Amino acid sequence: MEKPISLFTLTLLFLLFNQSLAIPGTYNILDLGAKPDGKTDSSKSLLSAWAAACGSPEPATIFVPKGRYLVKQAQFLGPCRNRAISFRIDGTLVAPSDYKLIGNADFWLQFQWVDGVFIRGGILDGQGTDLWGCKASGRKCPSGAATLGFTNSNNIAIAGLTSLNSQLFHLVLNGCNTVKLQGVKVLAAGNSPNTDGIHVQYSSGVTILNSKISTGDDCVSIGPGTTSLWIENVLCGPGHGISIGSLGKDFEEEGVQNVTVKNVTFKNTQNGVRIKSWGRPSKGFVKDVLFQHVTMINVQNPILIDQNYCPDNINCPGQVSGIKINDVTYQDIHGTSATAIAVRFDCSKKNPCIGIRLEDVKLTYKNQPAKSSCANAAGTTLGLLGPDSCL
């Protein structure tokens, strides 16, 4: 499986970024009225900088100096006159401490219809802890806003960005093409609800490199319509692992294909590499997936395919998943399982998993070989295996 070919490399992106600092067209939000005190609303200053950069026919840079800047909510809308807008963030953007102010919005910070946006450095503080507490108490709470979203956008690069304590998902890519994420950090409590680190759907040519994700849900969640996704050198934990899915919630749903996950470490996570689909009819599929060179450290479900996902037994009991899963390879997967069954393939009765390949898998439980469990799964094995294959 070849690494997806992008329209530009990170080297070129950062060269463009550095060039943009040296030419006219740098917009410092302090010059536009922003206050680095974490209390004064700087939303208008940030959006004024965006309006100027987006309206410029030349490459432009938005500069956020050191300090804490309160931003209540911001939408960065395109299309723009140029395709090289850089954000240099030396400080921290802070969401409102009152979660009700943005809790019913889809996003705190959202980019739509943009092409050629580069974000370098900075911290995004979603201040989501009070909302998590509200949800844990059982009170009526807003669902929460995702921290950063890119929708229907192309040629995006993000490097060295940290996302803290998002109310909901940290970073969402929806309907995007050619996206590079490098050196991203996601930090949230292990019990924070629905705080997926990076969520990708209906997007192509996304690359995630050299990142560290600690959160309360999936470190990376891969939704319908994702193609040519490359994930490499990622540390995940705590969290729910890297998950393809959940898929099959809708009957008319695009598939997931050409996904590579390599050189990844999972530490104290609920899952390692997981494929998950609702137990009900769907036209979706998963194919051409490679999990390679993966280390598991005390992971509850290191290798998992679950095609009987049915939360609260609503809208799916008695049905079977329509998601077709084929050509999934697990190569050089090693480490420790926190449960006796380290490999579990629980596939659809109507659409069994086919083309599953296990190669050099060595997983132990309490210093003994772990076990495997298969239902409606077929494939091949190669090399050293532990647990014994159930395919």
Dist CA 8 CA 24 (whole Å): 24
How many residues would you count in the chain?
391
Contacts of residue 58, Cβ cutoff 8 Å, sequence gap at least 6? 23, 24, 25, 82
- Biggest CA-to-CA distance, the chain: 65
Dist CA 332 CA 292 (whole Å): 6
Dist CA 358 CA 175 (whole Å): 32
- What Cα–Cα distance (Å) separates residue 104 from each residue in 107, 127, 321? 9, 15, 32
Catalytic residue among 170, 199, 240, 334: 240
Helix (H, G, I), strand (E, B) or coil at 220: strand
Nearest C-alpha neighbor of 232 from the set 264, 267, 272 = 264
* 293 labelled catalytic: no
- What Cα–Cα distance (Å) separates residue 298 from each residue in 271, 306, 363? 10, 20, 10
What is the phi/psi pair of residue 59, to 5°? -55, 145
Dist CA 195 CA 191 (whole Å): 9
Dist CA 67 CA 270 (whole Å): 36
Dist CA 61 CA 54 (whole Å): 10
Catalytically active residues, by annotation: 240
